Amino acid sequence: MSDPQTLTTPKEEIDAKGKWVVLDVTPDGPSLLAVGGTNFPGISARNWLDKTTRMTLLGKLRDALNGADFEGTVPYSGAEYKVVARAIWSPDRTQIVGAYGIFDVPGALLPEKPSIGTWQWRVDKKTGKNVGEDSSRWDDALFELYGIDPSTVSSDRGPAGEWLAKLISTKDRNEIKLMIDSGIAVNNRQRHQLSYEIIYQYGSPNPGKKQVSMSARAYDDPDFPEAVMLRGFSREVASPTKLLTPGLTPVATGLIPGALFALVEDRAFAAIDLVQEITFQTSSTWSQIGLQPSFEGNIAALAHPDDKFAMEGHLKGAAQGRVDPAQSLPVRLRAVSDTWLELDLTVARIDVAEDESRYLMTSLKPTKGAN
Helix (H, G, I), strand (E, B) or coil at 356: coil
DSSP 207-270: -EEEEEEEEEEEEE-TT-TTEEEEEEEEEEESSPPPPB-TT--PPPTTHHHHHHHHH--SSEEE
* DSSP for residue 39: E
Q: What is the predicted pLDDT for the residue at 156?
A: 59
Q: What is the predicted pLDDT for the residue at 132?
A: 86
Buried b / exposed e along 239-270 (16+ C-beta atoms within 10 A):
ebbeebbeebebeeeeeebeeebeeeeebbbb
The kind and range of the H/E element at 334 are: strand 329-334
Helix (H, G, I), strand (E, B) or coil at 195: strand
Helix (H, G, I), strand (E, B) or coil at 359: strand
* DSSP for residue 54: I
Q: What is the predicted pLDDT for the residue at 1?
A: 46
Q: What is the predicted pLDDT for the residue at 174?
A: 74
Domains of the chain with CATH codes:
9-114 (3.30.450), 115-253 (3.30.450.20), 262-366 (3.30.450.20)
pLDDT, averaged in runs of 10, over the chain (371 residues): 51 91 90 95 92 97 97 96 97 95 96 95 84 88 92 68 76 78 75 90 91 90 90 94 73 64 82 86 88 88 96 96 94 92 94 81 83 57
